[in-house]
Amino acid sequence: MRILYLNPVGRLGGAEALLLDLLASMREARPDWSLDVVLPEDGIVAMRAAAMGIGVHVIAMPQCVARLGDSGRQASQPWSLAWRILCAFPAGLLYRLRLSRKISRLKPDAIHSNGFKMHLLGVWSRPDATPVLWHIHDFVTTRPIMARLLSRFSSRCWVAVTNSEHVRNDLRAVCPNLPATTVLNAVDLAEFCPSGPVCDLDALAGLPPAEAVLRIGLVATMARWKGHTVLLEALAKISPAAPIRAYIIGDAIYQSDDSQWRLDDLRALAAELGIADRVGFTGFVARPAEAIRALDIVVHASTAPEPFGLAIAEAMACGKPVIGSGLGGAEEFLRHQVNGLTHKAGDADDLARKIEDLIADPACRARLGAEARETATRLFDRRRLALEMIPVYESLRHAPVTANAVTVDADAIAK
């Protein structure tokens, strides 16, 4: 069977990490299948996919198309967004034509799209008989324009896979007739583990070396809802005498305007709060497991529900105590005082108290870290991805030509 994966970015984010884990799992489970991926740019995703023997095809996406999005501030400026869409329309048509030609040449048995732009471009560009699977990693209802478009064109999609039950239920509100099944994200447990190489976070952040401190970190893209400012505000409430140093680990990966922080903005806020000497900004780290292992406490401060919470799962796999806001998909595996701590989303005071609790209790840190690793081993082994996805792919091979006439029993597959 030949599967073509479509991904809207070439840099490494949560959806891209999941895609690479899925490709690795599929390559191991079905070495005789042909797997290809289309990306809009060269980069780390292309390099890692090629190293697995995946066929990598780069079709450069026009900047005006790549920068479109209806999250963050763009969603609150509909007329501005509408104008951008209108201006990007000719370039979008050209990109769709190039993508359609590539699909026709590759002749896949199924198309697996891995992001909102590619969900639409996939169903617009596919040959009539080629089934399309949407892999939904985000809440659709939070994207007003995208929700309308997915609802409008869901009849051209055969089946959806979601990364949590929360996302599946959200998708049903927009596309009630689209079959959907949940496949939880996974983690490479050999890469994300308690033992292994460790980053020098101070060197990456340009800070002088520090000894005898607890290292607290937030690992995330620069999306505004990831809670970077909540962590900074919480750190400002912790006594300056506390033996801690904090790190913001990550950088922007998408080109969509106004939905992400710039590192300079966060540095300025840290200075304004009087904690610039206690916070380091590492930028992008190619091997996040090495950064996580350098931390004593991992904070996940999202102010909105997480579709899944991959950074939480990765930190748990590394055996680290996690403080998370515990909303959305993270509710399905993060348990307060069992395998981590939860704080009230957006509440810097509550987050500061939870950090102080862990600073003062090394035994609790050790217990939560051990329970976190056990949870990750039980739930997030990436070999599970192929075992759960192969039945979905094989159902597409025998699917009727007309989308949504597909006889995929998503609930049966999920079981």
For the domain made up of 201-379, the CATH class stated in words is alpha beta
Domain boundaries, the chain: 2-186+382-414, 201-379
Burial (Cβ within 10 Å: 0-12, 13-18, ≥19) of residue 126: buried
Rounded Cα–Cα distance for residues 31 and 218 (Å)? 37
pLDDT band at 68 (very low <50, low <70, confident <90, very high): confident
- Cα 6 vs. chain centroid, distance in angstroms? 15
Q: What DSSP assignment string belongs to 15-52?
A: HHHHHHHHHHHHHHH-TTSEEEEEESS-SHHHHHHHHT
Mean pLDDT of the region 106-127? 95
Rounded Cα–Cα distance for residues 281 and 275 (Å)? 12
Give the pLDDT score at 14: 83
Question: Which CATH architecture fits 2-186+382-414?
Answer: 3-Layer(aba) Sandwich (3.40)
Mean pLDDT of the region 92-110? 94
Query: What average pLDDT does the chain have?
Result: 90
Same CATH topology for 2-186+382-414 and 201-379: the answer is: yes
Q: How many CB atoms lie within 10 A of CB 326?
A: 25
Rounded Cα–Cα distance for residues 322 and 406 (Å)? 41
Rounded Cα–Cα distance for residues 131 and 117 (Å)? 17
Give the pLDDT score at 80: 66
Question: pLDDT tens-digit profile of 169-197?
Answer: 999 999 999 999 999 999 999 999 999 99
Give the pLDDT score at 71: 59
Give the pLDDT score at 78: 58
pTM: 0.84
As separate numbers, helices (DSSP H) first and strands (DSSP E) second, the chain gives: 16, 13
Question: pLDDT tens-digit profile of 74-94?
Answer: 444 556 666 677 777 788 889
